Chains A and B, each alone.
Chain A
Amino acid sequence: MRPSWLAPALLAVILALSSCGPPGAAETVGLQDAGNGSEQERGVPSTMTGAGISATPSPQADVRLPEDDAPHDALTEWWYYTGHLLTTDGVQYGFEFVVFQLIRGENPIGYLAHFAVTDPQRDRFHYAARSDQRPEVPPTLDIAVGEWTLAGEGGHDRISAAMNDYALDLSLIPEKPATLHHGGLISYGPAGDSYYYSRTRMAATGTMRVGDRWHQVAGQVWFDHQWGNFIVSPLGGWDWYSVQLDDGHDLMLSVLRGTDGQRSGAFGTLVKPNGRALELGPDVATVEATGSWVSPHTGVAYPSGWRIAVSSQPEDGIPTIELSLSPVLLDQELAFDEMAYWEGAVSINGVVAGEPVDGWGYVELTGYDAR
């Protein structure tokens, strides 16, 4: 018997952000000096200035992999998978699968999972949530949230989730080394600090059920792992962009809004095709929303469609990048009682170092729900 309060509440804890900036407003990402890197070439984080994400220095992250793939005794932790899958008969789907872990004192450890599928063929976006609790932190990444499961180590992960019309059972292997963002530790200011690394490109194979029919699928997955003694404040929010380009470049940008609703910082990482991670310095990248969408479910207005520009930094090996991101579906909102957020698949086209490029990505928009 599981307490029913955990499901909506835990969701809200992780994602609740309220102050919203005007949809469509341009965001300039203040970027950091190079120095970030893969787990092989991790940089030392430096004090953020100007449009940086934090006014205080983040301590040096001590992230050890694969040990740190496993759950931690931390206030907040999540394992976040977003990806694009193709069935053998050529149908494309986007998916989000995330497991949140929340630890508060001697209370049972709370787990919440979200599973969402973007089905552009049928113009459908489906999502569901599961919650669970357990008495102790599992020693390895082997978590069941209801009947949904997540297990793995070193990026060799297996995820499994099912809802009414869709189910997924995927095996993942990393195609690039793990990337530490901002030295592996980012600060949310008074809300606390978070360890943060990604596996920006993982190969996925497995099966997917659509309706009653199972399909073989393969595709590309982005994995984020954050943990730390931070909380997700109901004030502020973030826009998060993950970009996987056909030429092998991967890009992560995150724009934070503080408790006053104003932009409080931003950070980003460019991962080269060879896996080398480059932290984007101040004023290196800009993000501009090109449109907006108002949810018919919640009335919440979100930016929709974006232009990302990264100016060339030849000394750091950062090429000029100009990208256009379009939602695969406008309606990719996950709406729960406590709060709503938009997390959706986007298609990408643009230019990298003068060469045309296409790609896929995911965008997460939190803190717009001011209901």
Chain B
Amino acid sequence: MLYRFGLLIGKARWLALILWAIALAGALLLAARAPAALAPGGFSSPDLESQRASDLLFERFGHNPATILVVFTAAASPLRNHDPRFLAAMDYAVDEIRGLHEVAAVITPRENPRQASTDGTTAYVVIALRVPPEEFRHMLPRIEGALRQSELEQVMTGAPIFYQDIELVTEEDLRRAEAISLPFAAAALTVVFGSLVAAALPIVVGGAAVVVTLAAMVVLSQAVFLSIFALNLVTMLGLGLGIDYSLFIVSRFREELRAGREVSDALARSMATAGQSVLFSGATVFVGLLVLATFPFPALRSLGLAGSLVVLASVAAALTLLPALLVLVGPAIDRLTVVRPGARTNAAWTKLADWVMAHPIRVLVPVLLLLTSLGLPFLGVRLGAPDASILPPDVPSRRGVELIQQKFGGGELTPTLVLLSAEESALSPERVGELYDVVQGIARDPQVKRVDSIVSLDPRLTREQYQLIYARPDRVTDPYARAAIGQYVRDGLVVTQVTGREGEASEASHDLVRRLRALTPPPGTQMLVGGGTAGAIDYSDGLFRDFPRAIGLLVGATYLVLLLLFGSVGLPLKAILMDLLSITASFGALVVVFQDGLLADVLGFTPMGFVEASIPIVLFCLLFGVSMDYEVFLLSRVKEAYDETGDNRRSVAEGLQRSGGVITGAAAIIVLVAGSFVTADVVLIKAIGLGAAISVLLDATLVRGLLVPATMRLLGDWNWWAPTALRRALPHWGGK
């Protein structure tokens, strides 16, 4: 089928090129707007308890729980945070902010003395917002513009600042990664192909895939949420896959030309073999990323959507743009040769395959043990939600957060919110009494540092006194109680704010949230537990609740694709197991590096103490397909040989030999492109880059060179077995 398609493209090359030129011209204009069209956040889902709590708070209180904090320090002066001059300086700094329509309230240490650190050096002002933090692009310039510089050192933090910083750092990361990866990829291509013309084509195809996808994302962003992180993923995948796919086809095309075939025939044959592999490889990667789109979190959904798009674009460019260019270039593809390719490398692959197949058990066991042991650290993984620690230390949002954590304690920034709602007024004596009992119970938890609620004004106040204070809800005369009502009560809804002793990421904080959720609410009352830590728990739990389903879907779909391609029952299973081994090994590395901090200094980040929960899932879905690429290309070549010879051992050696150079080159390029994202300042991107690089590296070396030949040898003809009925039912691929 693809042979004919190759012939067709060869004839309609100009049409294909013109269509691509038009698409690229339009896409270039749109693609430049991609960073602004994409948004940070998307790490929650409306179904999650923490998000329902957040939505309810926003609906009933009219302002977002996510606030901006301005942290003031008098590091260089003897001023103390209770000095009138210190307080006046804070008032001066935030005075104009009070008048902004986006701002619901400005709370200084005058209103809440807990916002002044006990060591006297630091204080912060809370700016409550009427708009969600995701709207930072519109809101922040006005707030930053209204913030005056006082005589104190001041730094802004909070969710909107965090989002802004993520956007800035991500764009910078992307520029840096592109600046590093493109020259390296070009150099690797030049080494693989030996010719500048041949090396240029994959870059053109990869670039085209990225540009077209970015443009499509700009259009899509008008209708759906697309995460800013998708920008990096698209670039990484588009360049990697576009180049990889082109590499396979160009390589085959040159091989066919060298075999003396006409350009059109060489192209058609390349399409029928390498093109087919690209199609199926693309299908496995596409399926993997599409599975991401089934997760309930907008960030993951958008990664899946953008990832699937870029795979489609890469496959489309490799199967339409590239053939048109190949026909146009023809034998000139070998021009501008800078490196003479030798046969030594390919022979080395044959020797290796022979040796492995001579000692399959001796190879299989230690390699399996090695890969398994590399993956073992993943058993100790601690999953968490992204927080300021994913950003570099000098970024304002992280500096502010760390300053507050240092001066006020880990739990101060991420209190847990317990929402109790009922039809009856929250201020009825019965409900006040019940709330008092609940709050007293919460306060006794050793992990609780403080409880703020309408019944936590002063520890000396009794249950009966609180009932009296709120006995006439329309005439609550205690100013502190009235302020607490404004802060914590809306009709039947009452909020209790629980500040833990430790930060959001700690296991103790997670346990505290779980204990709070296990509380039995008073009769007739609904309880929701929200806040930063609850959000992190829901995020991780939500992700991993759906992960097994995603794995099943991914594995099942991939199996079907490979079954269609190879017509074998066992090979797809083997390929999937190999794939899982290399992915697990990269997961182990993630834990050792990003959770435990190995190489943290070299890679330039602060160990998070946890692995961001979406990373294993994104990596799994991404790598399952990408790693499968090499299996597909290798096994396609093996199958070609097997179909010709029927000799399993020989076909494995031949497959390895013929695909050796090109897979090595392709993997090197992916490792370089993914590895260049290790330079990213956003730890999330760094982790995905490193995880992908490690997995592909393992895949292209240990798995391809040792495991595949060993298992192929051990399985023998079972590799190619399929029930006769199935074999008949499956389509026959390849050839003319």
Question: Which residues from chain A sit less than 8 Å from chain B, CB to CB?
Answer: 1, 3, 5-6, 9-10, 12-16, 18, 75, 102-108, 110, 133, 135, 190-192, 229-235, 259, 338-339
Contacts and interface: CB of A to CB of B under 8 A. Distances in A.
B434 interface: no
B78 interface: no
Cβ-closest 4 pairs across A and B: A9-B479, A12-B477, A16-B477, A190-B464
Contacts of B480: 102, 104-105, 107, 110
A10 B480 CA distance: 9
Contacts of B464: 190-191
Nearest to A229: B460
Given A105-B457, A231-B465, A9 B482 contact: yes
A208 to B, nearest CB: 31
Interface string B469-485: 10110011111101100
A103 B458 contact: yes
B541 to A, nearest CB: 35
B91 interface: yes
A191 B466 CA distance: 9
B460 A231 contact: no
Contacts of B465: 190-192, 230-231
A235 B472 contact: yes
Interface string B129-169: 00000000000000000000000000000000000000000
B468 A190 contact: yes
Contacts of A108: 110-111, 113
A41 to B, nearest CB: 31
Interface string B80-118: 001000001001000000000000000000111110000
A18 B82 contact: no
B428 to A, nearest CB: 14
B461 A235 contact: no
Given A5-B479, A339-B477, A259 B457 contact: no
B314 to A, nearest CB: 59
18 contacts: A9-B479, A10-B479, A13-B477, A13-B479, A102-B480, A103-B458, A105-B457, A106-B113, A106-B114, A107-B113, A190-B468, A229-B461, A231-B468, A231-B469, A231-B478, A232-B477, A233-B469, A235-B471
Given A1-B110, A135-B113, A234 B457 contact: no
A3 B471 CA distance: 25
A235 B468 contact: yes
A75 B480 CA distance: 11
Contacts of A5: 479, 482-483
A16 B475 contact: yes
B82 A135 contact: yes
Contacts of B112: 107
B459 interface: yes
B91 A1 contact: yes
Given A6-B479, A12-B477, A110-B479, A105 B471 contact: no
Interface in B228-282: none
Given A104-B480, A192-B465, 8 more contacts: A1-B91, A107-B112, A107-B480, A108-B110, A190-B468, A229-B460, A233-B471, A338-B475
Given A104-B458, A105-B456, A135-B82, A234 B479 contact: no
Contacts of B482: 5, 9
B461 A75 contact: yes
B468 A259 contact: yes
A10 B478 CA distance: 6
Given A190-B464, A234-B471, A105 B458 contact: yes
A54 to B, nearest CB: 14
A105 B478 contact: no
A329 to B, nearest CB: 26
A339 B477 CA distance: 8
A233 B429 CA distance: 13
Interface residues of B, number: 30
A233 B468 CA distance: 6
A189 to B, nearest CB: 9
Contacts of B111: 3, 108
Nearest to A228: B460
Nearest to B457: A104
B82 A9 contact: no
Contacts of B468: 190-191, 231, 233-235, 259
A105 B480 CA distance: 10
Contact of B472 (A1, A10, A234): A234
Nearest to B111: A3
Nearest to A133: B110
A6 B461 CA distance: 20
Contacts of A102: 478-480
B92 to A, nearest CB: 10
Nearest to A131: B479
A133 B465 CA distance: 23
A3 B483 CA distance: 12
Contacts of B467: 190
Nearest to B116: A135
A336 B634 CA distance: 86
A102 B110 CA distance: 15
A235 B479 CA distance: 16
A105 B459 contact: yes
Given A18-B472, A190-B464, A9 B458 contact: no
Nearest to B82: A135
B458 to A, nearest CB: 4
A18 B475 contact: yes
A230 B464 CA distance: 11
Given A104-B457, A105-B457, A235-B472, A13 B110 contact: no
Contacts of A234: 468-469, 471-472, 475-477
Nearest to B467: A190
Contacts of B113: 106-108, 135
Contacts of B471: 233-235, 259
Given A3-B110, A18-B472, A108-B113, A231 B461 contact: yes
Contact of A338 (B88, B91, B477): B477
Q: Which of A75, A105, A235 has the most CB of B within 10 A?
A: A105
Contacts of A339: 475, 477
Interface string B381-407: 000000000000000000000000000
A229 B465 CA distance: 10
A141 to B, nearest CB: 22
Contacts of A233: 468-469, 471
B460 to A, nearest CB: 5
Nearest to B465: A231
A75 B482 CA distance: 16
A7 to B, nearest CB: 9
B70 to A, nearest CB: 17
A226 B652 CA distance: 97
A133 B459 CA distance: 20
A104 B469 CA distance: 13
B477 A9 contact: yes
Contacts of A9: 477-479, 482
A369 to B, nearest CB: 9
A234 B469 CA distance: 7
Contacts of B456: 105
A163 to B, nearest CB: 22
Contacts of A110: 479-480
Interface string B443-457: 000000000000011
A13 B482 CA distance: 10
Contacts of A230: 465
B101 to A, nearest CB: 20
Contacts of A12: 475, 477-479
A250 to B, nearest CB: 31
A31 to B, nearest CB: 26
A167 to B, nearest CB: 26
Contacts of B461: 75, 229, 231
Contacts of A3: 110-111
Contacts of A229: 460-461
Contacts of A105: 456-459, 480
